[in-house]
């Protein structure tokens, strides 16, 4: 599953680069990848329950069934890895384009 997410992340980064290259905006690549990565990491933190109180977490565990919790965890892991890969790609491109 993690290799599939890694391949999807590379394909997504390539699509963003190709789209910006078509419109001759390849200087916006770092900004675009950073924003996409931040949005995906924010969605992941919402789905993981990191932004809610303990009472809300306890209620969520009491009300949700096992399949729903598993689906939410799968989406949370997917968005976290995809967001993290976008941020890493953003940082690699940013620091590799800077002159020493």
CA distance 50 to 23: 38
64 DSSP assignment: S
pTM of the model: 0.83
CA distance 82 to 1: 12
Q: Pick from 51, 43, 49, 50: which is nearest to 84 by CA?
A: 43
Class of residue 53 by CB neighbours under 10 A (exposed 0-12, middle 13-18, buried 19+): exposed
The three-class DSSP label of residue 51 is coil
- pLDDT tens for each residue of 23-63: 888 778 889 999 999 999 999 998 888 888 888 888 877 88
The three-class DSSP label of residue 42 is helix
State the pLDDT confidence band at 100, using cuts at 50, 70 and 90: low
Which tokens sit at 14?
A: 């390539």
């Amino acid at each position: 599953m993690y290799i599939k997410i890694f391949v999807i992340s590379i394909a997504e980064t390539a699509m963003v680069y190709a789209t910006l290259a078509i419109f001759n905006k390849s200087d916006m690549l770092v900004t675009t990848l950073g924003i996409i990565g931040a949005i995906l990491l924010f969605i992941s933190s919402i789905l993981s329950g990191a932004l809610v109180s303990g009472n809300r977490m306890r209620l969520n565990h009491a009300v949700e069934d096992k399949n729903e919790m598993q689906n939410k965890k799968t989406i949370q892991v997917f968005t976290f890895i995809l967001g993290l890969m976008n941020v890493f790609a953003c940082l690699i491109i940013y620091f590799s384009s800077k002159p020493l």
